[in-house]
Amino acid sequence: MKQIRLSAQAKEQLIRLKTRTGISQWNILCRWAFCLSLAEPMPPTPIEIPADSNVEMSWTVFGGDFHELYFALLTERTVQDGIEIAPENLSRQFRLHLHRGIGYLATPNKVRSIGDLVGLVR
C-alpha cells in the first residue's frame, strides 16, 4: 500500500465534502472515512473499485504521523473479518473501507459542515 489512488466517484464525493466542511486536504477526509467504515460491524461489500481518478496519495500521507496506527487498525479489522493477512488482502480491504467510508460521508445531508463531521463521533 505504497500509493493509494481513488475512484473518480470518490474524488467527486470528496470535492463536495471539501466544500461543505472547509477541510481542504484529501488525506484528512480520507482518515475520517476510513475510521467511519471501520466502526461498522459488517465487512465492506467485496466489489471492484476502479482507480480511475487523478487523486493519489502515499500511505504515509494518508496516515500522517499515525500511519502505523491506521495500519494496525486495518490489520486488526482484517483479522476480525476472517481474512488472511497478506499484502494484497490488506490493500484490498483498505480500499474497500476507504471507499465505503467516503460513500457514507457523502450521503446527501449527512455532512453539511465540519460540525456534522464532528457529530459523527458522538
Give the domains, in start order, of the chain with CATH numbers: 3-119 (1.10.1220.160)
Which segments of the chain have a pLDDT < 70? 122
DSSP 65: G
pLDDT computed for residue 122 by the predictor: 60
Report the predicted TM-score, pTM, of the whole model to 2 decimal places: 0.93
pLDDT computed for residue 104 by the predictor: 94
Query: Could you tell me how many helices (H) and strands (E) the chain has, helices first?
Result: 6, 2
Nearest to 93 by CA among 24, 53, 55, 40: 40
Name the percent of the chain lying above pLDDT 70: 99
3-state secondary structure of 56: strand
Helix (H) or strand (E) holding 36: helix 26-38
